Structure 1
Amino acid sequence: MAQPRILILGAPGAGKGTQSARITEEFDVDHITTGDALRGNKDMDISDMDTEYDTPREYMDRGELVPDAVVNAIVEEALSQADGFVLDGYPRNLEQAEELEGMTDLDLALMLDVSQEELVDRLTGRRVCSECGTNYHVEYDQPEEEGVCDECGGELIQRDDDTEETVRERLEVYRENTEPVIEHYEEQGDLERVDGERAPDEVWADVKATIEDAA
């Protein structure tokens, strides 16, 4: 498979970013995330869509949610410019999954399976540099000096959304929204599951083999 079209699914903390980076390098495809697509098309003219504002930027500058119809249009634009891709963070619900079917034909929907308790451990253990944003982890990726960023010497902090209570709430919202999406691809026979609880290199070996098998 020269330039596959892959959808990667998994809860926050499942390792989608790590594996997506390897997929883009190995298979020479674009990594398309909803956030990047929105930032890259902030000034897209949506005046014909009967929305409150004429560009996505106006929603984002006000801290308001960008409507699904606008997100769909932006993702479709990003996909149209890519020969191959790994799509990360979209679709977030069944309606978006149905929209995606009209935009492109996927070669594979890849699910990184990680248990809830492992996800909680990963996310609550994350520490972020307050200066440059580099990520660390209290167990898996420690800095040379505790509490200090290796890159810039900044202070490492726990983000507000990485506390246990908030993490569990985020995972529940993810489960409620995304479970129907997973079932959708499973029913179509397009979903392949990979055990995401192992070391990143072991997960990658399975991810790579699964993509190659789908060729």
Structure 2
Amino acid sequence: MKSCIDQGQLVPDDVISRLILTEMRSIEQSSWLLDGFPRTVTQAETLDGVCSVDTVINMDVPFQIIKQRLTSRWLHLPSGRVYNIDFNPPKISGLDDVTGEPLIQRDDDTPETITRRLRSYEKQTQPVLEYYRSKGMLETFSGTETNKIWPHIQAFLSKKLFPQNDKVVGKA
């Protein structure tokens, strides 16, 4: 799996489906949210065979914005804290704000690998979006800033999950 990810490729359908669906079976009576799955029509069909999907959200962000964010991303691995040198920089460059430990960049956050990942994503994902669009399940939200997109997604989910309440739940 690591070699696929390092090269900007998707993990093979059978491997990722087996991992995801094993977990899905353990929570099938609950509501859940998947991020980044399914990425192929085969994965979508496999998912449909195991559980009922009622909504798919697509966040449409220009690739150049995604590329800029990923190449500017720095991580503190022990805690999972994420920094971005453009809009959420650490107080001291290269060091975690809490522990002072060094930050790292992921091996696959290079411009070349990100470009490959985005091309692969687009090629693989467009058929999945069409698959769910044809079933009337796809909702697309476009934008470049989380604080502008999130309120729309949150309102949509609130109406979808809690139709009796016409107010937004939670905060971004």
TM-score by length of 2: 0.77
Letter in 2 for 1:164: P
- Paired with 2:32 and 2:23, the residues of 1 have a C-alpha distance of 10
> Is 1:214–2:160 an aligned residue pair?
yes
- Name the residue aligned to 1:53: none
Within a 5 Å distance, the mapping from 1:93-172 to structure 2 comes to 93-129=40-76, 132-172=79-119
Which residue, 185, 188, 205 being the options, matches 2:135?
188
Q: Which amino acid is the alignment partner of residue 22 of structure 2?
A: E
Say if 2:21 is the partner of 1:76. Answer: yes
Rate the CA distance shift 1:80–1:125 in 2: closer, same or farther, 3 A. Answer: same
In the alignment of these two chains, the number of paired residues is 154
Q: What is the DSSP-based 3-state SS (H/G/I as helix, E as strand, rest coil) of the residue aligned with 2:122?
A: helix
**CA contact under 8 A between 1:132 and 1:152: conserved in structure 2?**
no
Deviations 1:184-204 (Å, cap 9, x if unpaired)? Answer: 111221100112412x33322
Are positions 1:203 and 2:149 aligned together? yes
Residue 66 of structure 1 and its aligned partner are, at CA, apart by 7.5
Q: Which residue of 2 aligns with 1:17?
A: none
Unaligned ranges ≥5, structure 1: 1-59
Contact 1:92 1:178 in 2 (8 A): yes
CA-atom RMSD in angstroms: 2.5
Residues 138 and 63 of structure 1: CA distance in aligned 2, closer, same or farther (over 3 Å): closer
Q: 1:130 to 1:205 in 2, by over 3 A?
A: closer
1:175 aligns to 2:122 (yes or no):
yes
Deviation at 1:130, TM superposition (A): 6.1
What amino acid does structure 2 have at the position aligned with 1:80? R
CA deviation digits over 1:73-106, x for unaligned, max 9? 4433322332110012221211111111111111
Contact kept? 2:57, 2:139, Cα under 8 Å: yes
Task: Point out where structure 2 has 5 or more consecutive residues left out of the alignment.
Answer: 5-9, 162-172
Amino acid at match of 1:158: Q
TM-score after normalising by structure 1: 0.63
Q: For residue 86 of structure 1, give the secondary structure of its aligned residue in structure 2.
A: coil
User: What secondary structure sits across from 1:88 in the alignment?
Assistant: coil
**Cα distance in structure 2, aligned partners of 1:201 and 1:177:** 28
